[in-house]
Chains A and B, each alone.
Chain A
Amino acid sequence: MDLMTFLQLGDSTFRLSTPLLLACLAGLFSERAGIFDIGLEGKMLAAAFFSGAIAFVSGSVWLGLLAGIGASLALSLVHGLASITFRGNQLISGVAINFLAAGLTVVVAQDWFGQGGRTPQLAGAARFQNITLPFTEQIGHVPFLGPVYVELISGHTFIVYLAALCVPAAWWLLFRTRFGLRLRAVGENPAAVDTAGISVVRLRFVAVGICGVLCGIAGAYLATALQAGFIKDMTAGRGFIALAALIFAKWKPVPAMLACLLFGFLEAASIRFQGQPWPGIGRVPVQFMQALPYVLTVILLAGFIGRAVAPKASGLPYTKER
Chain B
Amino acid sequence: MTFMTKLLGASAALALSAGAALADPAIIFDLGGKFDKSFNESAFAGATRWATETGGTFAEVELQSDAQREQALRRFAEAGNNPIVMAGFGFATALDEVAADYPDTKFVIIDMVVDQPNVRSVVFSEHEGSYLVGMLAAMASKTGTVGFIGGMDIPLIRKFACGYAQGVLAANPDATIIANMTGTTPAAWNDPVKGSELTLAQISQGADVVYAAAGGTGVGVLQTAADSGILSIGVDSNQNYLHPGQVLTSMTKRVDNAVYEAFTAGVDLETGFNVMGLANGGVGYALDENNAALVTADMQAAVDAASAQIASGELVVHDYMSDETCPGLTF
Q: Which residues of A contact B (CB under 8 A)?
A: 4-5, 8, 12, 15-16, 19, 110, 114-118, 121, 222, 226-229, 231-234, 236-237, 267-268, 271-272, 274-276, 283, 286-287, 290
B191 adjacent to A236 (CB under 8 Å): yes
Which residue of A is nearest B153, CB measured? A286
The complex places the Cα of A232 from the Cα of B200 at a distance, in Å, of 22
The complex places the Cα of A117 from the Cα of B181 at a distance, in Å, of 24
The verdict on B204 contacting chain A, using a C-beta distance below 8 Å, is: yes
The verdict on B196 contacting chain A, using a C-beta distance below 8 Å, is: yes
Which 8 residue pairs spanning A and B have beta carbons closest together?
A: A116-B36, A116-B35, A236-B191, A231-B216, A233-B190, A272-B201, A8-B204, A271-B197
The complex places the Cα of A287 from the Cα of B190 at a distance, in Å, of 18
- In the complex where A115-B37, A271-B201 touch, is A234 in contact with B184 (Cβ < 8 A)? no
A227 adjacent to B192 (CB under 8 Å): yes
CB-CB contacts below 8 Å: B186-228 with A: 187, 190-194, 196-198, 200-201, 204-205, 216, 219-220, 223
**Using Cβ atoms and an 8 Å threshold, which residues of chain A touch B41?**
116
**Using Cβ atoms and an 8 Å threshold, which residues of chain B touch A228?**
223
**Using Cβ atoms and an 8 Å threshold, which residues of chain B touch A4?**
204
User: How many contacting A-B pairs (Cβ < 8 A)?
Assistant: 93
**Using Cβ atoms and an 8 Å threshold, which residues of chain B touch A272?**
201, 204
Which residue of B is nearest A8, CB measured? B204
B193 contacts which of A236, A276, A286 (Cβ < 8 Å)?
Answer: A236
**Using Cβ atoms and an 8 Å threshold, which residues of chain B touch A227?**
192-193, 196, 219-220, 223
Q: A116-B36, A234-B193, A275-B331 are in contact. List 18 more A-B contacts (CB 8 A).
A: A12-B197, A12-B200, A19-B193, A116-B33, A118-B219, A226-B193, A231-B192, A231-B220, A233-B187, A233-B190, A234-B192, A236-B187, A236-B190, A236-B194, A274-B181, A275-B178, A275-B179, A275-B180
The count of residues in chain B whose C-beta lies closer than 8 Å to any C-beta of chain A is 36
**Using Cβ atoms and an 8 Å threshold, which residues of chain A touch B198?**
271, 274
**Using Cβ atoms and an 8 Å threshold, which residues of chain B touch A114?**
35
**Using Cβ atoms and an 8 Å threshold, which residues of chain A touch B194?**
236, 267, 271
Question: Taking the nearest CB of chain A, how far is it from the CB of B203, in angstroms?
Answer: 9
Question: Taking the nearest CB of chain A, how far is it from the CB of B187, in angstroms?
Answer: 5
A115 adjacent to B201 (CB under 8 Å): no
Question: Taking the nearest CB of chain A, how far is it from the CB of B314, in angstroms?
Answer: 32
**Using Cβ atoms and an 8 Å threshold, which residues of chain B touch A275?**
178-180, 331
**Using Cβ atoms and an 8 Å threshold, which residues of chain A touch B40?**
116
Which residue of A is nearest B190, CB measured? A233
**Using Cβ atoms and an 8 Å threshold, which residues of chain A touch B216?**
118, 231-232, 234
**Using Cβ atoms and an 8 Å threshold, which residues of chain A touch B204?**
4-5, 8, 272
Question: Taking the nearest CB of chain A, how far is it from the CB of B65, in angstroms?
Answer: 12
**Using Cβ atoms and an 8 Å threshold, which residues of chain A touch B245?**
none
Which residue of A is nearest B217, CB measured? A231
User: Scoring B residues 33 to 75 as 1 if CB is less than 8 Å from chain A, else 0, what string do you get?
Assistant: 1111110110000000000000000000000000000000000
The complex places the Cα of A160 from the Cα of B40 at a distance, in Å, of 37
The verdict on B242 contacting chain A, using a C-beta distance below 8 Å, is: yes
Most buried by B among A8, A286, A287: A286
B219 adjacent to A226 (CB under 8 Å): no
B37 contacts which of A116, A222, A287 (Cβ < 8 Å)?
Answer: A116
A231 adjacent to B201 (CB under 8 Å): no
The verdict on B17 contacting chain A, using a C-beta distance below 8 Å, is: no
The verdict on B32 contacting chain A, using a C-beta distance below 8 Å, is: yes
The verdict on B183 contacting chain A, using a C-beta distance below 8 Å, is: yes
Question: Taking the nearest CB of chain B, how far is it from the CB of A156, in angstroms?
Answer: 13
Which residue of A is nearest B186, CB measured? A233
Which residue of A is nearest B177, CB measured? A275
B330 contacts which of A116, A271, A274, A283 (Cβ < 8 Å)?
Answer: A283
CB-CB contacts below 8 Å: B104-126 with A: none
- In the complex where A272-B201, A275-B178 touch, is A290 in contact with B183 (Cβ < 8 A)? yes
Jot down 21 A-B pairs with beta carbons below 8 A, ordered by A: A16-B193, A115-B35, A116-B38, A116-B40, A117-B36, A121-B242, A227-B192, A227-B196, A229-B219, A231-B190, A231-B220, A233-B187, A233-B190, A236-B193, A271-B180, A274-B180, A274-B198, A275-B180, A286-B181, A287-B184, A290-B184
Question: Taking the nearest CB of chain A, how far is it from the CB of B84, in angstroms?
Answer: 23
Question: Taking the nearest CB of chain A, how far is it from the CB of B87, in angstroms?
Answer: 14
**Using Cβ atoms and an 8 Å threshold, which residues of chain B touch A271?**
180, 194, 197-198, 201
The complex places the Cα of A114 from the Cα of B112 at a distance, in Å, of 28
Question: Taking the nearest CB of chain A, how far is it from the CB of B193, in angstroms?
Answer: 5
B190 adjacent to A226 (CB under 8 Å): no
**Using Cβ atoms and an 8 Å threshold, which residues of chain B touch A226?**
193, 196
A16 contacts which of B178, B197, B219 (Cβ < 8 Å)?
Answer: B197
**Using Cβ atoms and an 8 Å threshold, which residues of chain A touch B331?**
275, 286
The complex places the Cα of A286 from the Cα of B148 at a distance, in Å, of 14
**Using Cβ atoms and an 8 Å threshold, which residues of chain A touch B183?**
290
The complex places the Cα of A317 from the Cα of B187 at a distance, in Å, of 34
Which residue of B is nearest A274, CB measured? B180
The complex places the Cα of A5 from the Cα of B204 at a distance, in Å, of 8
Most buried by B among A5, A233, A236, A290: A236
A231 adjacent to B33 (CB under 8 Å): no
**Using Cβ atoms and an 8 Å threshold, which residues of chain B touch A15?**
197
A121 contacts which of B179, B187, B193, B223 (Cβ < 8 Å)?
Answer: B223
The complex places the Cα of A117 from the Cα of B201 at a distance, in Å, of 28
The complex places the Cα of A271 from the Cα of B216 at a distance, in Å, of 18
Which residue of B is nearest A269, CB measured? B201
The complex places the Cα of A226 from the Cα of B179 at a distance, in Å, of 22
Most buried by A among B33, B190, B331: B190
User: Scoring B residues 115 to 150 as 1 if CB is less than 8 Å from chain A, else 0, what string do you get?
Assistant: 000000000000000000000000000000000000
**Using Cβ atoms and an 8 Å threshold, which residues of chain A touch B181?**
274, 286
**Using Cβ atoms and an 8 Å threshold, which residues of chain B touch A286?**
153, 180-181, 331
